[in-house]
Amino acid sequence: MKFSEFNFHPDIFKGLKIAGFKEPSPIQEMAIPIVENGSDMVGQAHTGTGKTAAFGLPMMDKLAKGEIERALVITPTRELATQVADELYHLGRFAGIRTLTVYGGVGYGRQIALIHKGVQIVVATPGRLKDLYKKGKIDVFNPEIVVLDEADEMLDMGFLEEIKEIFEYIPQNRQTLLFSATMPEPIKELANSILYKPEFVSVVGEDEVTNNVIDQRYYVINESQRDEAIVKLLETEDTNKCLIFCRMKREVDRLAEHLQALGFNSSGLHGDLEQRDRETVIKGYRRGEIKVLVATDVAARGLDVKNVTHVFNYHIPFDSQSYVHRIGRTGRAGKSGQAITLVTTEEFRELQRIQKEVGAEMRLATIKGDNGIDSAGLEYLAEQIRDIHIHNNASQMLEHMADMDKDVLLEKLVSHLMQEEQQNLGTQIGFDQNTVDSMMEGYVSEQKATRNNNRRKKRR
């Protein structure tokens, strides 16, 4: 099928042609005729399948032809709102369609003024949009088409009540479109309450949970090896842009700074960053100026960046749904991707549970250490030396060695540290299958013994 078969307004067709659209993706081919027809719709598709154009093109076609005057798109995060608004702007610019992003963290004044001036499309996050409607600031904005994008992300982030309240302010005589990668029960209930006789389309197979073009690996390591493992993987993997997930904000800052010190083009992203700093980091990552983005789950939600080749789980996620969302940042639009998880023996059972729940094929891997210390390794060692705490008896020790030349003494001490580092580099990162099996047997036995001891204590 060709886009010319949809009979779009000439200005919309010109926009999609210049944007490089040639043939519609499956979700576009199924969704566009339904939206053009005016029916409500539920679309199930992963991020990166062309959802924005699937609802954006027919929506802007109706605007260009004068069939509607206003449209609203609700997204879970400000980053996604900005991305959607940018794509809609490029597709609709020749038709003169004005688009506005509305989100928190910035002043109300400009957003309210532009809505009153008559922007045709508002792309908004739930919190700020609810506030504007509740305070009566945008009563003039009555959209005829409303799109709820990434609905399952809204659920994960706790926005369901805000969404329900927003729909109380929106006129009933509207066309409503809901897009979601997964369809948990709360999303189905929401769809039943806000849509009227919707049509359902899906490009997600019944058994599909994670993208089958993503190669999923895991390394079983000691807790102390996390930094060493992630550095070695970054050095040996053929990465373009990569995303590293940590559980805590302070871990994001520490790891991002550590990688910067080793010469990696890295930056951190988490909820404590100022809005301006968040936007700078995301723009830099999208443009390729930042190659390694270290982030928390919440900060990376809704982040849609092209050409992410690798997702690293520095820490294993808390649940299977988080795992799916994390690794879904790579392997998009038919391209292959790599998802690599670091786990300790204590976390291994949790990984097995996630593997079972998502039906993913994950393979155990190992990586050999180097035979020598490269420039990055020397820089890392220098950083370690700078951070060493000075022992209370260090001065006394130096007095015992006062007969030695100071330069020779310094070289000997550094040589000792380098020999230790050399030994570490020569070791394998990640345990092999036999070792993992043996360790897990010991771990299970230890757990059983602990449970038995606890039972005996209770009986006493």
CATH assignment of 3-202, given 3.90.230.10, 3.30.1650.10, 3.40.50.620, 3.40.50.300?
A: 3.40.50.300
Given a cut of 50, whether residue 46 has pLDDT beyond it is yes
Does the pLDDT of residue 67 top 70, yes or no? yes
349-408 pLDDT, tens digit per residue, is 888 888 887 777 888 988 766 555 666 567 767 877 887 888 888 888 888 888 888 888
Contact call for residues 178 and 151 (beta carbons, < 8 A): yes
Q: Length of the chain in residues, anyone?
A: 460
pLDDT, residue 64, reads 95
pLDDT in tens, 115-127: 999 899 999 999 9
Instruction: Indicate whether 53 pLDDT > 70.
Output: yes
Sign of the C-alpha dihedral computed for residues 259, 260, 266 and 271 taken in this order: positive
Question: Of the candidates 349, 347, 327, which has an alpha carbon nearest to the alpha carbon of residue 337?
Answer: 327
Give the pLDDT confidence score for residue 208 in this predicted structure.
44
Residue 459 predicted with pLDDT over 90: no
φ and ψ of 340, to 5 deg: -125, 125
Decide if pLDDT at 346 tops 70: yes
In this predicted structure, the answer to whether residue 209 has a pLDDT above a threshold of 60 is no
| Cβ neighbours of residue 64 closer than 8 Å, sequence gap 6 or more | 9, 11, 12, 92, 95, 97
- Rounded CA gap, 226 and 49, in Å? 33
pLDDT at 37: 93
Residue 183, pLDDT above cutoff 60:
yes
DSSP string across 304-318: --TTEEEEEESS--S
Q: What is the pLDDT of residue 446?
A: 62
Measure CA 340 to chain center: 14
What pLDDT does residue 458 have? 66
Q: What pLDDT is recorded for position 206?
A: 42
Please tell me the number of Cα atoms within 13 Å of 2 on its side-chain side.
5
| The pLDDT of residue 271 is above 50 | yes
Over 70: is that where the pLDDT of 16 sits?
yes
Judge whether residue 415 has pLDDT over 60: yes
Q: What is the percent of the chain with per-residue pLDDT over 90, rounded to a whole number?
A: 40
The ranges assigned to domains in the chain are 3-202, 214-370+429-434
Q: Which of 212-226, 305-319, 324-338, 431-445 has the lowest mean pLDDT?
A: 431-445
Cα distance between residue 362 and residue 2, in whole Å = 38
Is the pTM here over 0.75, yes or no? no
SS3 221: coil
Range from 54-58, 94-98, 221-225, 327-331 carrying the lowest mean pLDDT? 327-331
**Residue 321: pLDDT band by 50, 70, 90 thresholds?**
confident
Between 451 and 20, the more confident residue is 20
The overall average pLDDT reported for the chain is: 85
Rounded mean pLDDT of 310-327?
86
Same fold across 3-202 and 214-370+429-434 = yes
Structure tokens at 339: 């998802």
Fold of 214-370+429-434: Rossmann fold (3.40.50)
Given a cut of 70, is residue 443 above it in pLDDT? Answer: no
